[in-house]
Structures are given as structure tokens and as C-alpha cells.
């Protein structure tokens, strides 16, 4: 059978058949959506997208996010056909393609660059990890905010250094997930005219027709959000697709939603709109029928005509190379005229710190009354941020409580009118806030976001993706314990510390006093590929006398000896984090008065402690000392690692209660008497 003669149709058929063959060979995956949306992706990449396949991390490239990550073969096929080059974590080009034909042939197999869903930092050209529906489009909002922020920061008359657009392709599942609505609402409020979502309106999900559970008017909803909405009635109409993309690029003052009506598994009449076309391989017979409908050799597998490769090279390849070269020449002139800004831009792109970022971090004098963790963090944050220009962030409507507002001159509010502000108001949108933070981090801003610890549950999917993508997002959580008091169990976190510590790659800091807060920030800011949860108290904590106790520099090693009995080895170890460390110290003094030798170990970051060598860990927690008491106002889960199977953990084994703090501490056993009694029992 002769191949299609029209180069556009030949290219689209190549994308479709590569997707079909990859899924069929893996015997796993989703062929329907890539088949249906291949024309839309082709129209965008071939004719519009500003992207240089030879350097897929060029700073002013347009971003493409495949939010419906189950359609990953669509993106992999495009990366293969464009010849996108691989780049490593040190931003070096490796001289090989990011996705080879062999990778496509090994779709969903171990170590293939084509995993089941697109993974950032694994496959060059993938802008963000997607798969959990809604996350991709929500993350794209952060990317668009980041682009506008960088334009406000770096662009100068005659130098449009940053003006890229962000495109995200989404499906019905993305539209149903609440995070997409939160993010779309924020995008409309901020008038992100550089943001375009392409919605595959195929009316199918895993269970069947969307009419089973979804009947809203998406277009009207987005118009209400403040978006421009346009529609393409046939996903195969390249002229209308191109017209819609031109409409987006001409639209100012609001983001754009392009609704594309498609039939999942298009070209396969007896499998259209079926579950199999969505979530299962087509099967050998259906593959042949589908290829026949495309005018494709029925038995050809992973066929890429030479003229298709040449066509991609002539269009997106040549266009991207030209645009990149023009930008590079512009940046050379920019560097000569604005060397300080150019240096900042370079450092930002490589996640390097500005010199002197930590020069103003305060030290806190000993004070029995003390200061809350959140207030200490506010002072440290506002000492760092003026020396760290691309440190930006905000709160899910809680900045007055989390104390995360940047207050120095020039730290304005980010808004539609002022996209370069340093304070971001996310509104009561905890889930979208996390996605936006990931998008900002992917744009190389250093992003932080704050909320109460209890509401970390609302952003858990984004926390997990931060860790999976190795993004240095800073999550600030305050109101960290039953110390919230009268607000009661709905606002008192219990299981949250354990669940955060369970996320691979996430560092959880819970500092014990103001100087531990400062030391935590010193450890957090230099991280380039590690997200952090900084957990802070609402109530005041005594600022410890460091001339008497161990230096807070020990925070950099995760755990350290804070107080020690002199003369002999300790008989019992008292372990704690956060607000319970002063309680351990008080018990230590009581035991000392009774002739019992104890050691107090502050353990603000378990993950850091686990990274230390065995010699250091044994020096802090000597294996031969099995009498141990751990104290933390949280679930006891996990503490057996350090307390040992014979140790005692004073923690929460139920939800909290609504009462003044002192009454709660007595009710749940967080008293000096309880710690002293437990220590004696251990002996």
C-alpha cells in the first residue's frame, strides 16, 4: 500500500503508528488518545512551538506539558521525530538523542527513556512529570507565572530576553480533577496571556462515556474564570487547529482554552470510544485495520519514512535553531550592557546561589520566653530574600498566620498588573499552590509556599511530585502540633510528620528553637535537587543558651547531642524534635539532680541524619545504650527506628482535643514528670 503523499498527513500517520506500535509491543498503555490528538500535537510542534531540538533546555523555549500523561507515546514520538538531544543534570549535551527508536520499541520497559508516563529529569524534552491527572495543567500555571516573573525581572528596553509561551494538553480527567479548577481560577485572576490549554474533548474516561459523571459546560466555566475560549470541531482539521493557535498568540490579558472535539482511537471505527482504545493495546487485528485506515502498510512496525524526518528538521528543527541563535546573540549583547542581571540569570538557570545570600541571617540570644518557630522563620526568611532575588513565594491565604510575607522594600505583591512581585497570593487553594510551586521551580525560580501542617494533606500529590522530580521547593508548615490548642483536632496535626517523612527524597525539618530555625534555613537554601518541608511551631519556644548546650550547627547533620551529663557515659537517651526538645532538656536537668546521667539529642531532620556515616550516627546514638525515650507531639509511627524495640515513645496515639495548651499537654502526657518517669522505667 502506498504511503500518504501529503507530507502533513504522512507525518501525522507516522506519529499515530509509532504510538500504536509502542503500546502494542509493550502490551500495555493507552493508544486511543495519542491517535486522536496527533493532529493537534503536530500542528503545535511543527508550526508554532518555539523549541530547539538540539538544546531542549534553552531558557526561552516554549513549554509543552502533556497533562494527560497516559498519552505519553504522543510526546515520545514527537521527541524522536524532532531528533531532540539528551541533556544531563549538569546541563551538558550528551551527543545522543533523547528518545531513540529503540527506546520507543522498549516503551514501558526497565531503563527505557519511554516510561509509562513522562518523567522530568529522565527523558530530555519532558518539561514536567505527568500522569496524576490535573497535575500537568496546574503545573503549567506555575510555569506561566514564572515566565512573566522572569520577563519583569530581566527584560529591558530592546531586550525581550524572556517571552515564551506555555502549552498544556489536557483531557476530560484533567478537567474533572479539582486541582485544575483551582489552578485555572488563579490563572484567570492573574491574566496569564502566555498560557494555552488544549483540551481533548473526547467524552471518554476509563469507565466509559463521560456522561456517567460529567455533564458541565466546560467552556462556560472557563469563560467565568476569565479565560478566552475557542473551539475546534474536528481534531483532524489542521487549518482550524492552526487558526486557534494563532488566536491564542494574539490574545492579550487572559489565558486561552482551545477545546478540540475528537473521537478516541480515531481511524478505528469498530473500536472508537471503547475502553480498549483508551486503556489497552488495540490487538494485532485492530492494529492492521487501523493502519489500513491511515493508508499505512499493515505489517510495518515502527516505520519512520525518511521524508518525515526531513520535514521535521526543515520546520521545527530549523526554526528552533534560528530562534535559539537569535536569542543567544541577544543575550551576548545583554550581558555586555547588564552584566549583573546576566550573572543572576546564569545562576538562576543552574540553580546556583547569589554570593552573600546568607550574610544577614540573624543569631538569636538565649531567652527563656523565646519566640515561635514561625516568627523566627519570618525573621530569617526576610534576612535571606533581599540577597536572593529569585526567591519568591507566598501562602494559601495564611501569610499573617504562617508569617511568610516578605516585608522588605521592593517585595511587592505579584499580580496581573505587577507580575514581578515577590509575594504570591495563592488564595485558599492548597493543592494548586503546590502545583504552581513545582511550575515555578521548573522555571528555575526558588519557590516557597506556606500553610498549616494539618493541610499538607491537601497538597500531598504535589509534594510527592516535587520529590519525584527532585525540585528544590520549600514547603513551610506552621501550627505543627496539638499546640494549636483550642482549634481542636480538626486543626491539630497528628499523623502528618510520619507521612511526610515517608515520602522518598523529601527532607523534613522540625527545629527546636530560633537558632535551629536559622540553621535549618542555612541547610535548606543551598539544596538544588531536594524539596523540603519546614515544620514550625505556632507557640513560643525558649531560645536555648548555646554556651551551655550544643551548637545549632548540628542541624546540618540532621541530629546532634544537645545536652550531656559530664564524667561518665549517659545511662539514658532523651530524643526529641521541635517543641518537645525543651521538654527533654527539663527532664534532663531533673534526672541530673537525681543522679541519673542522660543525654538529650535534638533530631530536627531524620533524613539528613540518615545520610551521615555510621561512625557519626553511633556517636550520637550509641548502640550500646538501649534505654531511650523519644518525645514528639505526633504519631509515634517511625520512632522505633531510633528508640529501639525496647524504648519508650511519648507521642500521640489518638487525635487531639479542643482545650488550652497546658490542659492538652497534661492530658496527652507531654510533661516533665512523664518523661522523667519513662526514663527511670527504661533503667
CA 668 to chain centre: 36
Distances (CA, A) of 463 to 328, 435, 502, 606: 35, 9, 11, 18
3-state secondary structure of 508: strand
Q: Which residues 6+ apart lie within 8 Å of 338 measured at CB?
A: 156, 159
DSSP 184: H
DSSP 99: S
Q: Which residues 6+ apart lie within 8 Å of 313 measured at CB?
A: 83
Q: Which residues of 496-515 are buried (b: 16+ CB within 10 A; e: fewer)?
A: bbbbbbebeebbbbbbbbbb
What does the alpha-carbon distance between residue 656 and residue 535 come to, in Å, rounded to a whole number?
A: 18
Rounded to the nearest 5 degrees, what angle is found at the Cα of 497, between the Cα atoms of 496 and 501? 115
What does the alpha-carbon distance between residue 431 and residue 396 come to, in Å, rounded to a whole number?
A: 9
DSSP 116: S
CA 27 to chain centre: 31
How many Cα atoms occupy the beta-carbon half-sphere of 81 within 13 Å? 35
Q: 540-543 and 367-372 as β-strands: parallel, antiparallel, unpaired?
A: antiparallel
433 grid coordinates: 499552590
What does the alpha-carbon distance between residue 435 and residue 172 come to, in Å, rounded to a whole number?
A: 19
Q: Which residues 6+ apart lie within 8 Å of 385 measured at CB?
A: 391, 406, 408, 411, 422
Q: Are 166 and 147 in contact (CB under 8 A)?
A: yes
Q: For residue 667, which of 675, 656, 680, 678 has the smallest C-alpha distance? A: 656
What does the alpha-carbon distance between residue 53 and residue 511 come to, in Å, rounded to a whole number?
A: 45
3-state secondary structure of 110: coil
What does the alpha-carbon distance between residue 57 and residue 92 come to, in Å, rounded to a whole number?
A: 10
What does the alpha-carbon distance between residue 480 and residue 484 come to, in Å, rounded to a whole number?
A: 8
Helices then strands, each counted (H, E), the chain: 26, 22
What does the alpha-carbon distance between residue 45 and residue 77 come to, in Å, rounded to a whole number?
A: 12
124 grid coordinates: 530530555
430 catalytic? Reply is yes
Distances (CA, A) of 218 to 181, 222, 224, 408: 10, 6, 10, 42
Distances (CA, A) of 216 to 202, 212, 273: 14, 12, 20
Catalytic residue of the set 127, 177, 182, 430? 430
What does the alpha-carbon distance between residue 77 and residue 224 come to, in Å, rounded to a whole number?
A: 36
Q: For residue 150, which of 527, 529, 440, 450 has the smallest C-alpha distance? A: 440
Distances (CA, A) of 645 to 425, 632, 652: 46, 17, 18
Q: For residue 142, which of 399, 446, 397, 364 has the smallest C-alpha distance? A: 446
Please give the biggest Cα pair distance in the chain: 94
Task: Give catalytic residue positions.
Answer: 430
Amino acid at each position: 500500500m502506498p504511503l500518504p503523499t501529503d507530507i502533513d498527513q504522512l507525518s501525522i500517520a507516522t506519529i499515530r503508528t509509532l504510538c500504536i506500535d509502542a503500546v502494542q509491543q509493550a502490551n500495555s498503555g493507552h493508544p486511543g488518545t495519542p491517535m486522536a490528538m496527533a493532529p493537534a500535537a503536530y500542528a503545535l510542534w511543527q508550526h508554532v512551538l518555539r523549541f530547539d531540538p538540539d538544546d531542549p533546555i534553552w531558557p526561552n523555549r516554549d513549554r509543552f506539558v502533556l497533562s494527560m500523561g497516559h498519552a505519553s507515546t504522543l510526546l515520545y514520538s514527537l521527541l524522536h521525530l524532532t531528533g531532540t538531544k539528551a541533556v544531563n543534570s549538569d546541563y551538558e549535551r550528551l551527543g545522543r538523542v533523547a528518545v531513540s527508536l529503540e527506546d520507543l520499541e522498549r516503551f514501558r520497559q526497565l531503563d527505557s527513556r519511554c516510561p509509562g508516563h513522562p518523567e522530568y529529569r529522565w527523558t530530555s524534552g519532558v518539561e514536567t512529570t505527568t500522569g496524576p491527572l490535573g497535575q500537568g495543567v496546574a503545573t503549567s500555571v506555575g510555569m506561566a507565572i514564572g515566565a512573566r516573573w522572569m520577563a519583569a525581572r530581566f527584560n529591558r528596553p530592546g531586550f525581550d530576553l524572556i517571552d515564551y509561551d506555555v502549552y498544556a494538553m489536557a483531557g476530560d480527567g484533567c478537567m474533572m480533577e479539582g486541582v485544575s479548577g483551582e489552578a485555572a481560577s488563579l490563572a484567570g485572576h492573574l491574566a496569564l496571556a502566555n498560557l494555552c490549554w488544549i483540551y481533548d474533548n473526547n467524552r471518554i474516561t476509563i469507565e466509559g462515556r463521560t456522561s456517567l459523571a460529567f455533564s458541565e459546560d466546560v467552556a462556560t466555566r472557563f469563560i467565568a474564570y476569565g479565560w478566552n475560549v475557542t473551539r475546534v470541531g474536528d481534531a483532524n482539521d489542521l487549518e482550524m487547529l492552526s487558526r486557534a493557535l494563532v488566536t491564542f498568540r494574539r490574545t492579550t490579558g487572559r489565558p486561552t482554552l482551545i477545546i478540540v472535539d475528537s473521537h478516541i482511537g480515531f481511524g478505528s471505527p469498530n473500536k472508537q470510544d471503547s475502553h480498549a482504545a483508551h486503556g489497552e493495546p488495540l490487538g494485532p487485528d485492530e492494529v492492521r485495520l487501523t493502519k489500513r485506515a491511515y493508508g499505512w502498510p499493515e505489517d510495518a512496525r515502527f516505520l519512520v519514512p525518511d521524508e518525515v524526518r526531513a520535514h521535521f528538521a526543515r520546520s521545527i528543527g530549523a526554526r528552533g535553531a534560528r530562534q535559539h541563535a537569535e536569542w543567544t546573540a541577544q543575550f551576548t549583547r545583554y550581558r555586555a550592557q547588564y552584566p549583573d542581571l546576566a550573572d543572576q540569570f546564569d545562576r538562576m538557570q543552574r540553580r546556583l546561589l547569589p554570593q552573600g545570600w546568607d550574610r544577614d541571617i540573624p543569631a538569636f540570644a538565649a531567652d527563656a520566653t523565646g519566640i515561635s518557630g514561625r516568627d523566627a522563620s519570618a525573621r530569617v526568611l526576610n534576612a535571606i530574600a533581599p540577597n536572593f532575588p529569585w526567591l519568591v513565594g507566598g501562602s494559601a491565604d495564611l501569610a499573617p498566620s504562617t508569617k511568610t510575607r516578605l516585608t522588605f522594600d521592593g517585595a511587592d505583591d505579584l499580580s496581573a498588573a505587577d507580575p514581578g512581585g515577590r509575594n504570591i497570593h495563592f488564595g485558599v487553594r492548597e493543592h494548586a499552590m503546590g502545583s504552581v510551586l513545582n511550575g515555578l521551580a521548573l522555571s528555575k525560580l526558588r519557590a516557597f509556599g506556606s500553610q498549616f501542617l494539618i493541610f499538607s494533606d491537601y497538597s500531598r500529590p504535589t509534594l510527592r511530585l516535587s520529590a519525584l522530580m527532585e525540585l528544590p521547593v520549600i514547603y513551610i508548615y506552621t501550627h505543627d502540633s496539638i499546640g494549636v490548642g483550642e482549634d481542636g483536632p480538626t486543626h491539630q496535626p497528628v499523623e502528618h510528620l510520619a507521612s511526610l517523612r515517608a515520602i522518598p527524597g523529601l527532607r523534613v525539618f522540625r527545629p527546636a528553637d530560633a537558632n535551629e530555625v536559622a540553621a535549618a534555613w542555612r541547610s535548606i537554601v543551598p539544596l538544588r535537587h531536594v524539596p523540603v518541608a519546614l515544620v514550625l511551631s505556632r507557640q513560643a519556644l525558649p531560645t536555648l543558651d548555646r554556651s551551655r548546650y550544643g551548637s545549632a550547627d548540628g542541624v546540618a547533620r540532621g541530629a546532634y547531642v544537645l545536652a550531656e551529663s559530664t564524667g561518665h557515659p549517659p545511662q539514658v537517651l532523651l530524643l526529641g524534635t521541635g517543641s518537645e526538645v525543651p521538654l527533654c532538656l527539663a527532664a534532663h536537668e531533673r534526672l541530673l539532680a537525681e543522679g541519673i546521667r542522660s543525654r538529650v539529642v535534638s533530631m530536627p531532620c531524620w533524613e539528613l541524619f540518615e545520610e551521615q556515616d555510621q561512625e557519626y550516627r553511633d556517636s550520637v546514638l550509641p548502640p550500646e545504650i538501649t534505654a531511650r525515650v523519644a518525645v514528639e507531639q505526633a504519631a509515634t509511627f517511625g520512632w522505633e527506628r531510633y528508640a529501639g524495640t525496647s524504648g519508650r515513645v511519648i507521642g500521640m496515639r489518638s487525635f487531639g482535643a479542643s482545650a488550652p495548651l497546658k490542659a492538652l499537654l497534661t492530658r496527652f502526657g507531654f510533661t516533665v514528670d512523664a518523661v522523667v518517669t519513662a526514663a527511670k522505667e527504661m533503667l
